[in-house]
Amino acid sequence: MDVEDLSDIFRRVLENDGVRADSDFFVMGGDSLLATRVLSAVARACGVELDFDDFLEAPTPEALCKKIASLT
């Protein structure tokens, strides 16, 4: 999974086409319930199970991509 794939997931979940690689999910209007949708989409797409703390530490597509890469 690359940063563009994650950006697409963020865009879909947030319903916001303005998401970029460095866009913070929570600044863009995300909340904990929407974050679970991102985490589920990541698990389905690449088989990596992340928890909410992982997401809090890496709330941008770019940071989350690095987090996933470090686990695979």
Angle at 63 between CA 12 and CA 36, to 5 degrees: 45
Q: What percent of the chain has pLDDT over 70?
A: 100
Q: How confident is the model at residue 40 (pLDDT cuts 50, 70, 90)?
A: very high
Q: Which amino acid is at 16?
A: N
Can you give the pLDDT at residue 1? 84
- Residues 51-65, mean pLDDT to the nearest whole number: 96
Reference 37, options 66, 15, 65; nearest CA is: 15
Provide the 10 A C-beta neighbour count for residue 14: 18
Q: How confident is the model at residue 43 (pLDDT cuts 50, 70, 90)?
A: very high
Q: State the chain's mean pLDDT as an integer.
A: 96
